[in-house]
């Protein structure tokens, strides 16, 4: 097993040697999506970054238990604070659906999109609503330790009291006074004692839909609580890696640490890993700023910011070409460059299959392979890894052109290197090969079109026909149903 992996830890603000608590096991918890709307590309970047980390740790031989939750209750519109409606309930009311219908729809969509990006499923994907009992138990433990108080059936975490014996700002590096001074004043009706206090349990208003009985009230858990309860349940009081987007660090993760410390007197995770944001013209991509786009819009090229569409693996390559701790700015030029780069890499993979051993050996793959490991061992540096893989690609082309000779041993090392790093670690795949699936995909599209026709929804059935025509497919309606051909 590789012992030279260094991981940047937000807690120490340094790269640290990765030493799991209980090797070869690694416990990793990542904050998952709130399933109230489609995930945008920014969210996808974070999950692809942790997929890279999960894949590399697994490649090194670690037995990783990767827990990524689904937030299906308790996440209020105020995000960090305790204000506003529950995001899922609000959507459900607008759509006149059950909250669980919203949850189901967006969970399925999320899984589909992760699959399209070749993101591996986590080992466990627990939901907040499935762990109400664990969350209530955690609130009880924090109350017993004296770090929380009850007001009118709601329970709040007492940050100032906690900070007397612990360091509340341990993760964000801020002093309590500064944090207090930078928080806006409490409204008149606020039940909290201190500006930074946050809800562990919230008493539900009568019209609130998702609520559960508890010793304090019919209510629902605070958002920060679910991650503390579920990481604790599946990975123990202390585990190796806790991750999420950097935007979650100042409040959500800070509060998670406070909750776990308050209940168990232990720092939950040894390494806190944060991914940086996908930006558009330098601004964080986010739904509320209105600059987000959906993966499907990127594939189809249908968003006004896009010149054309890009395939899922081009998008994944684009994400992997940036280090996870750097911001990554979206642009058409960058996407075009990624498309070229990705094609180049895939072409060399195809060429590699046809390479033959040739005479006196002139290449050594060992040092190149070591440089690939060095790149990934340096805090999962995928852009440096990709630069090394382009070096491999040059070697492949030179051998193919007869400019370089390679022996059997180095040829099989080169194949292993490309297989390990391009396919398994970066999680890229050759999309050309996936064309074998085309008949099945076309069947499905024709089925959808037939359904639309049966429902007399001719606008949709025409849209499908014209859309297919634009990308080079002709549909023929006949007595025995519809068939298709490439134009
Ligand atoms: P949410 O569904 O809003 O809870 O977010 C899910 C995950 O996506 C969190 O880990 C966020 O930090 C992350 N995220 C949100 N916006 C972006 C962005 N523009 N770039 C990268 N990650 C993001
Ligand atoms: Zn979380």
Distance CA 216, CA 201 (A): 8
Residues contacting 90, CB < 8 A, separation 6+: 36, 77
State the pTM of this model.
Answer: 0.88
With a CB cutoff of 8 Å and minimum separation 6, the contacts of 291 are 280, 281, 283, 285
CA-nearest of 59, 65, 68 to 21 is 65
Work out the pLDDT band at 188, boundaries 50, 70, 90. Answer: low
Indicate whether 172 and 260 sit together in one domain: yes
- Residue 457, pLDDT > 60, answer yes
Within 13 Å of residue 443, how many CA atoms lie on the same side as its CB? 4
Q: Whose CA is nearest to atom 5 of ligand 1?
A: 33
CATH number, domain containing residue 363: 1.10.730
Residues 197 and 184 in one domain: yes
What mean pLDDT value characterizes the chain? Answer: 92
Domain annotation covers residue 439: yes
Regarding whether 358 and 264 lie in a shared domain, the answer is no
Query: Where residue 44 falls among pLDDT bands split at 50, 70, 90?
Result: very high
Given a cut of 50, is residue 2 above it in pLDDT?
Answer: no
| Cα–Cα separations (whole angstroms), residue 143 to 155, 158, 258, 467 | 9, 10, 13, 59
Q: What is the pLDDT of residue 478?
A: 78
Let me know whether 346 and 399 are in one domain. Answer: yes
Residue partners of 273: CB distance under 8 A and separation at least 6: 7, 8, 9, 10, 50, 53, 241, 242, 243
The tens digit of pLDDT for each residue in 217-243 reads: 999 999 999 999 999 999 999 999 999
**Cα–Cα distance, 248 to 275 (Å, whole number):** 10
Contact predicate 283/291, CB 8 Å: yes
Does a structural domain hold residue 1? no
Q: Are 269 and 333 members of one domain?
A: no
Please check whether residues 257 and 246 belong to one and the same domain. Answer: yes
Interatomic CA distance for residues 417 and 438, integer angstroms: 30
The pLDDT of residue 462 is above 50: yes
Task: Give the C-alpha separation, 328 to 330, whole Å.
Answer: 6
Token pair of 170, please? 């341990």
Average pLDDT over residues 461-471: 85
> Is residue 188 included in any domain, yes or no?
yes
Last residue of a domain, one of 275, 295, 320: 275
- Answer yes or no: do 267 and 403 share one domain: no
Q: Do 68 and 200 reside in the same domain of the chain?
A: yes
Cα(257)–Cα(142) distance, rounded to whole angstroms? 12
Q: Could you tell me if the CB of 43 is within 6 A of ligand 1? A: yes
pLDDT of residue 189: 56
Upstream peptide bond of 24 is cis (omega within 30 degrees of 0)? yes
C-beta of 45 in contact with ligand 1 (< 6 A): yes
Ligand found nearest the CA of 227: 2
**Atom 8 of ligand 1: nearest residue by CA position:** 43
**Chain segment 430-447, per-residue pLDDT in tens:** 987 656 677 778 888 888
C-alpha span between 435 and 453 (Å, rounded): 27
| CA distances for 429 relative to 1, 134, 425, 469, angstroms | 26, 40, 11, 27
Average pLDDT over residues 268-279: 98
46 CB near ligand 1 (under 6 Å): yes
Q: How far is the CA of 40 from the centre of ligand 2 (A)?
A: 18
Q: Percentage of the chain surpassing pLDDT 90?
A: 74
User: Taking residues 291-320, what's their average pLDDT?
Assistant: 92
Q: Which residue has the higher pLDDT, 305 or 398?
A: 398
Alpha-carbon distances of 93 from 36, 175, 281, rounded to whole Å: 12, 40, 34
When divided into structural domains, the chain yields a total of 3
Report yes or no on 265 lying in a domain.
yes
Q: Does the beta carbon of 128 sit less than 6 angstroms from any atom of ligand 1?
A: no
Domain final residue, candidates 221, 254, 275: 275
> Is residue 136 in some structural domain?
yes
Is the pLDDT assigned to residue 186 strictly greater than 80?
no
Last residue of a domain, one of 245, 275, 305: 275
Domain check: are 200 and 298 in the same one? no
φ, ψ of residue 10 to 5 degrees: the values are -60, -30
Tens digit of each residue's pLDDT (9 = 90 or more) over 9-32: 999 999 999 999 999 999 999 999
Q: pLDDT, tens digit, for every residue of 321-354?
A: 999 999 999 999 999 999 999 999 999 999 999 9
Closest ligand 1 atom to Cα of 32? 6
Are 109 and 134 in the same domain?
yes
The mean pLDDT of 258-284, rounded to a whole number, is: 96
Which structural domain range is residue 123 located in?
Answer: 6-275
State residue 86's pLDDT score: 84
Q: Is 42's C-beta closer than 6 angstroms to any atom of ligand 1?
A: yes
Q: Which CATH number fits the domain that encloses residue 21?
A: 3.40.50.620
**Is position 364 within any domain?**
yes
Same domain, 359 and 458: no
Six-digit token pair at 370?
A: 């070591």
- Residue 195 and residue 179 share a domain: yes
| CB contact at 8 A, 141 and 200 | no
Phi, psi (rounded to 5 degrees) for 86? -65, 130
Q: CA 9, CA 379: separation in Å to the nearest integer?
A: 10
How many CA atoms within 13 Å lie on the side-chain side of 287?
Answer: 11
Compute the average pLDDT of residues 107-121.
97
Q: Does residue 449 fall inside a structural domain?
A: yes
């Amino acid at each position: 097993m590789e012992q030279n992996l260094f991981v940047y830890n937000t807690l120490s603000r340094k790269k640290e040697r990765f030493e799991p608590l209980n090797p070869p096991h690694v416990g990793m918890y990542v904050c998952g999506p709130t399933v109230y709307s489609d995930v945008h590309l920014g969210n996808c970047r974070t999950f692809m970054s942790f997929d890279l980390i999960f894949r590399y740790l697994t490649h090194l031989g670690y037995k990783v238990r990767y827990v990524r939750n689904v937030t299906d209750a308790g996440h209020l519109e105020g995000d960090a604070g305790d204000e506003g409606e529950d995001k899922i309930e609000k959507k459900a009311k607008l759509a006149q659906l059950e909250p669980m219908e919203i949850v189901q729809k967006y969970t399925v969509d999320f899984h589909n999109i992760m699959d399209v990006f070749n993101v591996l499923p986590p080992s466990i994907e627990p939901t907040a609503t499935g762990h109400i009992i664990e969350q209530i138990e955690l609130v009880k433990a924090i109350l017993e330790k004296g770090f929380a108080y009850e007001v009118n059936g709601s329970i709040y975490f007492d940050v100032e009291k906690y900070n007397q014996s612990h360091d509340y700002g341990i993760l964000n590096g801020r002093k309590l006074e500064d944090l207090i001074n930078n928080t806006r004043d409490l409204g008149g009706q606020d039940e909290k004692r201190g500006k930074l206090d946050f809800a562990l349990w919230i008493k539900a208003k009568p019209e609130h839909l998702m609520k559960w009985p508890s010793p304090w009230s019919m209510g629902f858990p605070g958002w920060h609580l679910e991650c503390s309860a579920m990481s604790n349940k599946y990975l123990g009081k202390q585990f190796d890696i806790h991750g999420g987007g950097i935007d979650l660090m100042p409040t959500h993760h800070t509060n998670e640490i406070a909750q776990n410390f308050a209940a168990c007197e232990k720092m939950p995770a040894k390494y806190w890993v944060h991914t940086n944001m996908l930006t558009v013209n330098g601004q964080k991509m986010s739904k509320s700023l209105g600059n987000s786009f959906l993966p499907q819009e990127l594939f189809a090229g249908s968003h006004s910011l896009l010149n054309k569409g890009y395939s899922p693996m081009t998008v994944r390559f684009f994400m992997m070409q940036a280090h996870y701790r750097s911001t990554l700015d979206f642009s058409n030029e960058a996407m075009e460059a990624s498309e070229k780069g990705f094609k180049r890499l895939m072409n060399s993979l195809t060429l590699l299959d046809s390479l033959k051993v040739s005479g006196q050996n002139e290449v050594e793959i060992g040092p190149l392979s070591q440089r690939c490991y060095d790149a990934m061992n340096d805090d999962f540096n995928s852009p440096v890894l990709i630069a090394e893989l382009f070096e491999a690609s040059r070697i492949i082309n030179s051998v193919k052109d007869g400019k370089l000779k390679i022996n059997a041993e180095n040829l099989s090392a080169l194949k292993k290197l490309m297989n390990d790093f391009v396919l398994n670690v970066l999680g890229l795949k050759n999309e050309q090969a996936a064309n074998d699936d085309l008949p099945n995909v076309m069947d499905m599209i024709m089925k959808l079109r037939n359904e639309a026709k049966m429902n007399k929804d001719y606008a949709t059935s025409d849209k499908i026909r014209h859309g297919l025509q634009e990308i080079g497919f002709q549909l023929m309606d006949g007595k025995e149903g519809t068939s298709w051909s490439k134009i």
